[in-house]
Structure 1
Amino acid sequence: MTALDERVSTRMTTRQKLILVLLLGSQFMLAVDFSILNVALPVIGEGLGFALADLQWVATTFALAAAGLTLLFGRVADLFGRRRLFIAGMALLAVSSLAGGLATSPSMLLVARVAQGLATAIVTPAGLSLLTTSFREGPLRARALGLNGALMSAGFTSGAVLGGLLTELLSWRWAFFVNVPVAAAVLLAAPVLLAESRPDRRPKMDLPGAVTVTLGLLALVFGLTRAGEHGFADTVALGSLAAGAVLLVAFWFAERRADSPLVPVAILQRPSVKWGNLSGLIAFATETSLVFLMTLYLQKVLGYSALATGLTFGVLGLGTVVGGVVAPRVLARLGDRRALVAGFAVQAGATASLALLGVASGWIWLLLTATFVGGVGNMIAIVGFMVTATSGLPDSEQGLATGLATMTQQVGITMGIPLMSSVVTAAMGHASGTAAVLHGVGVAVLVNAAMVLLGALLAGLFLRPSR
Structure 2
Amino acid sequence: MTDRPDPRRWQVLVLLGAAFFMTVLDSTILLTALPTISAGLGVSAVGVQWTVTGYALAFSGLLLCSGRLADLLGRKRVFLAGMALRVAAALLCGLAPSVEFLVAARALQGISAAVIAPAALSLLMTTFPDGPERNRALGIWGGLGGVGATSGLLLGGVITEAFGWRWVFLINVPVGLAVLALGLGLLRDIGTPVSRRPLNLPGVLTSTTSLVLLVYAIVDLPTGGWTWRTVGTLAASAALMGLFCLLESRSAAPLIPRRLLRSRTLLGGNALVLAAGMAVDGMLITLTGHVQLALGWSALRFGLVAAVMTVASVVGGLVSQRLALAVGLRRVAVTGAALLAGGCLLLTQVSTAGSLGVLIAGQLVFGVGMGAAFVCAQIAALDGAADADSGLAAGVVDTSFSIGTALGVAVCTSVAAAVAGAARPAGHLGDAGLVLGEQVGFGVAGGFAVLGLLAALLLLPRGSVSGAPFFNIDSESGRRADPVESPCR
Check whether TM > 0.5.
yes
2:246 to 253, 264, 268: 253
Which residue is 1:146 aligned to? 139
Which residue is 1:26 aligned to? 19
In structure 1, what is the Cα distance between the partners aligned to 2:250 and 2:115? 26
2:360 to 361, 368, 375: 368
CA positional deviation for 1:80:
0.7
2:213 partner letter:
A
Distance 1:324 1:243, change over 3 A: same
Does residue 1:263 correspond to 2:260, yes or no? no
Which residue is 1:282 aligned to? 275
Where do 1:290-309 residues align within 5 Å? 290-309=283-302
Where do 1:19-418 residues align within 5 Å? 19-197=12-190, 198-199=192-193, 201-231=195-225, 233-361=226-354, 363-418=355-410
Distance 1:256 1:274, change over 3 A: farther
In structure 2, what is the Cα distance between the partners aligned to 1:191 and 1:101? 26
In structure 1, what is the Cα distance between the partners aligned to 2:279 and 2:392? 25
Distance 1:152 1:433, change over 3 A: same
- SS of aligned partner of 2:385: coil
CA positional deviation for 1:430:
5.0
CA positional deviation for 1:200:
6.7
Bigger Cα displacement from structure 2, 187-196 vs 335-344: 335-344
In structure 2, what is the Cα distance between the partners aligned to 1:43 and 1:425? 22
Bigger Cα displacement from structure 2, 271-280 vs 70-79: 271-280
Does residue 1:423 correspond to 2:415, yes or no? yes
2:302 partner letter:
T
Distance 1:454 1:236, change over 3 A: same
Q: Given that residues 68 and 395 in structure 2 are in contact (C-alpha distance below 8 angstroms), is that contact kept between their aligned partners in structure 1?
A: yes
Q: Given that residues 229 and 418 in structure 1 are in contact (C-alpha distance below 8 angstroms), is that contact kept between their aligned partners in structure 2?
A: no
In structure 2, what is the Cα distance between the partners aligned to 1:466 and 1:245? 37
CA positional deviation for 1:13:
7.1
CA positional deviation for 1:159:
1.6
Distance 1:200 1:297, change over 3 A: closer
Which residue is 2:482 aligned to? none
In structure 2, what is the Cα distance between the partners aligned to 1:281 and 1:360? 34
2:419 partner letter:
A
In structure 2, what is the Cα distance between the partners aligned to 1:298 and 1:45? 18
CA positional deviation for 1:38:
2.6
Distance 1:300 1:50, change over 3 A: closer
In structure 1, what is the Cα distance between the partners aligned to 2:44 and 2:351? 35
CA positional deviation for 1:49:
4.0
In structure 1, what is the Cα distance between the partners aligned to 2:463 and 2:297? 45
In structure 2, what is the Cα distance between the partners aligned to 1:235 and 1:411? 22
In structure 1, what is the Cα distance between the partners aligned to 2:30 and 2:452? 30
2:220 partner letter:
R
CA positional deviation for 1:350:
2.4
- SS of aligned partner of 1:441: helix
2:446 partner letter:
A
In structure 2, what is the Cα distance between the partners aligned to 1:201 and 1:397? 10
Q: What residue ranges of structure 1 are gaps of 5+ in the alignment?
A: 1-8
Does residue 1:433 correspond to 2:427, yes or no? no
CA positional deviation for 1:250:
2.3
CA deviation profile, 1:19-54 (whole Å, cap 9, x unmatched): 011001111111111122232223333433434431
In structure 1, what is the Cα distance between the partners aligned to 2:337 and 2:158? 32
CA deviation profile, 1:232-275 (whole Å, cap 9, x unmatched): x1322222222222222322232222111111122123322223
Bigger Cα displacement from structure 2, 405-414 vs 438-447: 438-447
CA positional deviation for 1:156:
1.7
In structure 2, what is the Cα distance between the partners aligned to 1:359 and 1:38? 21
Q: Which has the higher helix share?
A: 1
- SS of aligned partner of 1:410: helix
1:347 partner letter:
L
- TM-score, with normalisation over the residues of structure 2? 0.88
Bigger Cα displacement from structure 2, 70-79 vs 421-430: 421-430
Q: What residue ranges of structure 2 are gaps of 5+ in the alignment?
A: 465-489
CA positional deviation for 1:359:
3.2
Distance 1:43 1:342, change over 3 A: closer
Which residue is 1:3 aligned to? none
Bigger Cα displacement from structure 2, 190-199 vs 78-87: 190-199
1:192 partner letter:
G
In structure 1, what is the Cα distance between the partners aligned to 2:275 and 2:100? 34
In structure 2, what is the Cα distance between the partners aligned to 1:328 and 1:166? 31
Which residue is 2:449 aligned to? 452
CA deviation profile, 1:365-408 (whole Å, cap 9, x unmatched): 12212211211112211111111111122111111111001111
Q: Given that residues 142 and 377 in structure 2 are in contact (C-alpha distance below 8 angstroms), is that contact kept between their aligned partners in structure 1?
A: no
In structure 2, what is the Cα distance between the partners aligned to 1:300 and 1:41? 13
Does residue 1:443 correspond to 2:420, yes or no? no
Bigger Cα displacement from structure 2, 179-188 vs 35-44: 35-44
In structure 2, what is the Cα distance between the partners aligned to 1:244 and 1:260? 23
Q: Given that residues 146 and 370 in structure 2 are in contact (C-alpha distance below 8 angstroms), is that contact kept between their aligned partners in structure 1?
A: no
CA positional deviation for 1:14:
5.5
Bigger Cα displacement from structure 2, 304-313 vs 209-218: 304-313
CA positional deviation for 1:122:
0.2
In structure 1, what is the Cα distance between the partners aligned to 2:233 and 2:41? 30
Q: Given that residues 256 and 264 in structure 1 are in contact (C-alpha distance below 8 angstroms), is that contact kept between their aligned partners in structure 2?
A: no
CA positional deviation for 1:81:
0.4
CA positional deviation for 1:117:
0.5
Distance 1:268 1:225, change over 3 A: same
Which residue is 2:475 aligned to? none
Q: Given that residues 145 and 374 in structure 2 are in contact (C-alpha distance below 8 angstroms), is that contact kept between their aligned partners in structure 1?
A: no
Which residue is 1:6 aligned to? none
CA positional deviation for 1:149:
2.2
